[in-house]
Chains A and B, each alone.
Chain A
Amino acid sequence: MSPATAQPATDRSPGLLPHERLQHLLDALSRSGYECIGPKLRDGAILYEHIDSVAELPLGVAVEQGPGSYRVDMTDSRRRFGWANGPQAIKPFLFAPREILWRATQREDGTLVFDARPPACKPLAVIGARACDLAALALQDKHFLGGTCPDPGYARRRDGLFIVAVHCSHPAQTCFCASTGDGPRATSGFDIALAELDDGFVAESGSDRGAAILDGLHLSSATTAQLVAAEEQGRHSSEVQRRALPGRNLQASLFANLEHPRWQEVAERCLSCGNCTSVCPTCFCHSEAEVPKLDGDSSLHEREWDSCFTQGHSYIHGFTVRPDTRTRYRQWLTHKLGGWHAQYGRSGCVGCGRCISWCPVGIDITEEAHAICGPQP
């Protein structure tokens, strides 16, 4: 389409951001005070890291995922988002893998002073978040911000977060967001959403600040053909998914099958390593410990990611509630796909498939759920 015939994108109607102008979006975000975080190819996987330039994005990279396997390939595609996901979602940027919560200092008279250590944080703009990542983010928000004691560190980082979503165009073999209802198209929770086409990005805003950034780019309207292509792409991304959970609410079925022999069978394959929970964008378990200074006068209170697959997770004084892998795997599945309904009003699985790809022995949550719950009505 030639600029002469282009209509300016009206307020919140989709515009078209040509590939060669993607840098303008990054620049606009930087000018608004955001540090840009985008996908990069590092050590054989797509990771979210600091970016300054679109040249750092994974141009032409394709990713093949399967149970216990993740392989990248180079293609001559002009696309930079033609892959499904990497091991992280947005989680590590808000729920830090390790952080200091407070410092306790002992005064001369023996009394203790506590000082909270608000984390230094710069507003982040995450570029390339997927629909499943946004669904997971909404769940983590419920966990960390809901209730009477919102997590202050999470809240500060969350406040500053700007999200540029990219609708998924190349789901992995491990993806099943269509079955959980969380993707592949991002429908809410973003500031800007992009659909990547061969001739550019169909761009729409989902918030006032997103609209302000897009307005500043003075995009021309996307054509009807481009809108149709974006929609087609979304439908296709949904149709190609082969995996699915046996149902959206497995709570009753899982708790009716606590003695199913499959728990023991999967325990013989499972390493109880915690990779699945670590890459899961909704898992929030953590442990806390004191890290005293050598002089003994003060101590840092540290929080780090934990997992229902560790011994410490179910240790209560002198007793480990879940000493073996059977009970730990059962805890993971019954909580994620069962208990979450009662706690957060929905399943804890958004269908991202990460726990399947990043499990060193390729255990597939959808296969285990089918074996234990059977076909659902």
Chain B
Amino acid sequence: MESTAKPKVAVHKFSSCDGCQLAFLNLGAALMQVAELVDFTHFAEAGPLAPDAAVDIAFVEGSIATPDDLQRIARVREQSRFLVTIGACATAGGVQALRNLANAGEWIAGVYARPEHIHSLDRSTPIAEHVKVDLELWGCPVNGRQVLGALRALLFGVMPAQENDKVCMECKRRQTVCVMVTRGRACMGPVTRTGCGALCPSFGRDCYACYGPAENPNTAALARRFEGLGLVPEAVARRFLFINNGAPAFRDAGLKSGERHDG
């Protein structure tokens, strides 16, 4: 195959920590193989710079949180056949979406000595709120298995299998002992989307929902269970209003527990 015939891929960064891009950079030998299959036209963290070049697949990390983000995402969409969001920021607004629940102007004034230098939007929002997204990969951060699986499927011309089961399913497949049942830990696994391989419970800690809501999540039942385990409503609210606070299922559950606290 001639190198010019290779599909073109871009990896863009918006408002984020760069962690999801590491899912590519940490691939090791597999990254060499990826480089044989596709041309990375733009991947600032790895070298290539051509943010406005037309590509077959654009991986987008980060949320829309500044006026500049707003303009750039429109250009990225125009230049990409397929747009894939990677991570909690791009897919749900990220931890920085907590500002959506507060007065962002007041926060900035409280934190920065010269707030007039901060150019940010009042809200941090997911990519899909602004442009059409073809595929969303959840996780904070996403992992190599996910990005390779998505890339391989798209190169075949099909969508990757969707992963929307609860973390508990994978936890049990791994024969991990449940931390909620044996130790009363407030585990978010029963409402969280699988994809990480039930990592946290395998190290004896509770899931904090970095992969966002699973399909059909019963947040109300889990919130009641957390209260039964001794969490006050405010603490329950914090379990939901964390990395994926911008995902509607978690935001609504968190606000509801928060109201019980205030009321």
Contacts and interface: CB of A to CB of B under 8 A. Distances in A.
Q: SS class of chain B's interface: helix, strand, loop or mixed?
A: helix
B21 to A, nearest CB: 19
A87 B174 CA distance: 12
Contacts of B190: 271, 273, 275, 360
A247 interface: no
Contacts of A270: 218, 221
A98 interface: yes
A304 interface: yes
Interface in A67-91: 68-72, 87-88
B173 A278 contact: yes
Contact of B191 (A271, A292, A358): A271
Contacts of B165: 274, 310-312
Interface in A294-308: 294-296, 304-307
A360 B172 contact: no
Interface centre among A47, A72, A358, by most chain B C-beta atoms within 10 angstroms, is A358
A87 B177 CA distance: 8
Interface string A59-72: 00000000011111
A275 B175 contact: no
A44 B183 contact: yes
Contact of B182 (A71, A306, A324): A71
Nearest to B204: A43
A361 interface: yes
A71 B184 CA distance: 10
B178 A268 contact: no
Nearest to B192: A273
Given A47-B177, A68-B181, A275 B168 contact: yes
B216 A360 contact: no
Interface residues of A, number: 45
B49 interface: no
Interface string A28-70: 0000000000000011110100000000000000000000111
A279 interface: yes
Interface stretch (B80-88, B123-131, B148-156, B233-241): B148-156
Nearest to A86: B177
A312 B178 CA distance: 23
Contacts of B178: 70, 87, 275, 358, 360
Contact of B172 (A69, A97, A272, A310): A97
Nearest to B222: A271
A323 B216 contact: yes
Given A44-B182, A360-B178, A360-B181, A294 B221 contact: no
A92 B182 contact: no
A122 interface: no
A294 B172 CA distance: 28
Interface stretch (B29-37, B62-70, B93-101, B110-118): B29-37
Given A270-B218, A325-B216, 13 more contacts: A43-B204, A47-B177, A272-B216, A275-B172, A278-B169, A278-B172, A278-B173, A289-B161, A292-B153, A311-B164, A360-B180, A360-B181, A360-B187
The 3 closest A-B pairs by CB, nearest first: A278-B172, A44-B182, A97-B173
Interface of B: 30, 33-34, 37, 148-149, 152-153, 155-156, 161, 164-166, 168-169, 172-178, 180-184, 187, 189-191, 204, 215-218, 220-222, 224-225
